[in-house]
Amino acid sequence: MNIQVEKTALVLIDLQNGILSRNCAPYTAEEIIERAKALVEAFTEKGGFVVLVRVSSLDGKDMLQPITDAPAAQATGYPEGWDQIVPELAELPGTYTLTKRQWGAFHGTDLDVQLRRRGIDTIVLGGVSAGIGVDMTAREAFQLGYNQFFAEDVMGAADKEMHDYVRANIFPRIGRVRSSADIISYL
C-alpha cells in the first residue's frame, strides 16, 4: 500500500500541554508524542502537509455551550500554556498550527480550505482524545469526503475502553486503522 504524500495531510489533534498532562490510555503521553514526532518528521521529510491542531479559548465565550447532562469542561481557569502544542512537536519546522474552539477540527476553522487548496484528499489522523476530538474530526472529515488513515498508536483517551471503542467500531467504518510504523512505511 502506498500513500501519495502530495495528496495526504497528517492532522494531529490536541497534542498540547494541558491535554497530555491528563491520563492517557492505552498509550502513555510519552509514547504518543514519540510516535507523533516520527510521523511529523516522515511527512515533512517527504514534503507532506502537517497540521497540529490545538483547542484554546480567549475567554470561554468562544466555545460551544449547549445544555447537556454531563457538565462541560470550563474553558477558563487553565494554567498558563495549557493550550500550547507540546515542545517536542511545536519546535519541528514545516508544520501548520490550527486553533479550534470545539471538539472537531473542521467546524469553524480553515482546515478544509487549507487541505483543498493543496489538493489533499486523504488525511492521517491521530491525537487525544480518541473518543472526542479525534472522533469528531474523523466524522467531519468523512462527511466532507476525505479518505482517512487512523494512526491507532498515536491516539489516547481518558480510558482504554473509550480508545478501543472508536478504534474497533467507528474508525474502520470511515477509514483504515493502521500503526504509525505502517503509515510511515506507506510513504
Cis peptide preceding 129, ω within 30 of 0: yes
Kindly list the domain boundaries of the chain, sorted by start residue: 5-55+82-186
Q: What is the pLDDT of residue 23?
A: 83
Q: Can you tell me the distance from the alpha carbon of 187 to that of 180, in angstroms, rounded to the nearest whole number?
A: 11
Q: What is the pLDDT of residue 12?
A: 98
Q: What is the pLDDT of residue 77?
A: 61
Average pLDDT over residues 170-177: 98
Task: Give the model confidence (pLDDT) of 88-124 as tens digits.
Answer: 999 899 999 999 998 899 999 999 999 999 999 999 9
Asked whether the predicted pLDDT for residue 58 surpasses 90, the reply is no
Which spans in the chain are helix H? 17-20, 29-45, 87-90, 111-117, 135-143, 160-165, 171-174, 180-186
Helix, strand, coil in percent for the chain, rounding step 5: 40, 25, 40
What does pTM read for this prediction? 0.91
Q: What is the pLDDT of residue 119?
A: 98
The answer to which of 17-26, 74-83, 129-138, 163-172 has the lowest mean pLDDT is: 74-83
Q: Please state which architecture CATH assigns to domain 5-55+82-186.
A: 3-Layer(aba) Sandwich (3.40)
